[in-house]
Amino acid sequence: MDESRISQAFEDYGITTEITCIQAFEISEKYGIPKLHIMKYCNTRDPRIKIRSCQLGCFR
């Protein structure tokens, strides 16, 4: 997982504490980062970055 690329993408999108599922998909496509890596990055931050508005209904 390339944390520096994900960190830069989040900074570009203004993401600090929450990300929507749609944003995660956009970042994955735009930066060529696997969605799983984005999810892992969100879950390993302290504090964690919350995933909101999940397209599958998994995160609320």
Q: Can you give the residue ranges of every domain in the chain?
A: 3-52
Q: What percent of the chain has pLDDT over 90?
A: 68
Intervals of the chain under pLDDT 70:
55-60
Q: What is the pLDDT of residue 32?
A: 95
What pLDDT score was predicted for residue 60? 47
* pLDDT at residue 8, rounded to an integer: 95
The pLDDT value recorded for residue 13 is 95
| Model pLDDT, residue 56 | 64
pLDDT of amino acid 52: 85
Determine the Cα–Cα distance for residues 46 and 60; give it in Å rounded to an integer: 19
How far is Cα 60 from Cα 53, in angstroms, rounded to an integer? 6
